[in-house]
Amino acid sequence: MFDISPTEWTAIQLSLRVAAVATLVATPLAVALAWLLARREFWGKSLLDALVHLPLVLPPVVTGYLLLLTFGRRGLVGAFLADHFGIVLAFRWTGAALACGIMAFPLLVRPIRLSIEAVDHRLEQAAGTLGAPPWRVFLTITLPLAMPGVLAGMVLGFAKAIGEFGATITFVSNIPGETQTISSAIYSLIQTPDGDRAALRLVVVSIVIALAALVGSEWFARRASKRLHGN
């Protein structure tokens, strides 16, 4: 049962890579946006908030199709990237990472925003009176104190990225070795006669990855909060 075939390995490795890249690229953006939403008032804030959450409520196939229209070779951004930088996202693993990153984005922003809101603003004021300009207040006080939320968001985002299916398959299809992640591999296998065992193996693998992520995040969160509260 546990003879994992090379194709399956490829799908597993690709999933991990896609999810890791998606999470690592999305995290700084999510932190910046979460800070903006938590600490600043500006015109159009609720619209921006809604926009960030859109991938959560849109059918994933719609998000995927919009990505294809925008980042496809003939899409507005896609053509520009391809002509000027030689970057092609459609039907590539990098495109899968983009799709996963966008789908995971609201799940990253939410816990980070909540944890930034929970940081006592009076500590930030105190840092200011000690001579710290706003960006250093953010780096030395706000971000470290919000770290448990950032880690929670990263784990949630990573798990979402690993499991993403609809937007990914619409945008980058299901090409073994290039864009076939665990999810799309399972999808292909259950459409194939005799694919059941292989599909089951990948199901077990995805359960293991999800469990590891949850246990890992729990451990990180406990360590981080211990470090913060200094007991």
List Cα–Cα distances, 200 to 7, 186, 195, 206, in angstroms.
14, 8, 9, 10
Min dist CB 109 to other proteins, Å, is 23
Give the sign of the dihedral formed by CA 163, CA 15, CA 101, CA 140: positive
Q: How many residues bind other proteins (CB under 8 A)?
A: 24
Stretch that binds other proteins, among 49-57, 82-90, 103-111, 126-134 (CB under 8 A): 126-134
Question: What does the DSSP 8-state code read for residue 8?
Answer: H
CA 112 – CA 61 distance, rounded (Å)? 27
Q: Is 44 left (phi over 0), alpha (psi -120 to 50) or beta?
A: left
Binding range to other proteins, per CB under 8 A, among 104-112, 135-143, 151-159, 171-179? 135-143
CA-nearest of 102, 96, 124, 104 to 38 is 124
**H/E segment holding residue 157:** helix 143-163
Q: How far is the CB of 229 from other proteins (least distance, A)?
A: 6
The minimum distance between CB 158 and other proteins, in angstroms, equals 24
Nearer to other proteins, 152 or 162 (CB): 152
Tokens representing 72 are 């496809």
Element (H, E) at 189: helix 182-191
Q: Which of 41, 130, 191, 194: binder of other proteins (CB under 8 A)? A: 130
Among 4, 128, 200, 213, binds other proteins (CB under 8 A): 128
Question: Per CB under 8 A, which of residues 82..121 are in contact with other proteins?
Answer: 120
Q: Cβ neighbours of residue 134 under 8 Å, at least 6 residues apart?
A: 128
Q: Cβ 137 to other proteins, closest distance in Å?
A: 8
Nearer residue to other proteins within complex by CB, 79 or 228: 228
Check binding of 46 to other proteins (CB under 8 A): no
Tokens 């968001």, located at residue: 153
User: Is residue 144 part of the contact set for other proteins (CB under 8 A)?
Assistant: yes
Question: x-or-dash pattern for other proteins, window 199-228, by CB under 8 A?
Answer: ----------------------------xx
Interface residues toward other proteins, by CB under 8 A = 120, 122-123, 125-134, 136-137, 140-141, 144-145, 227-231
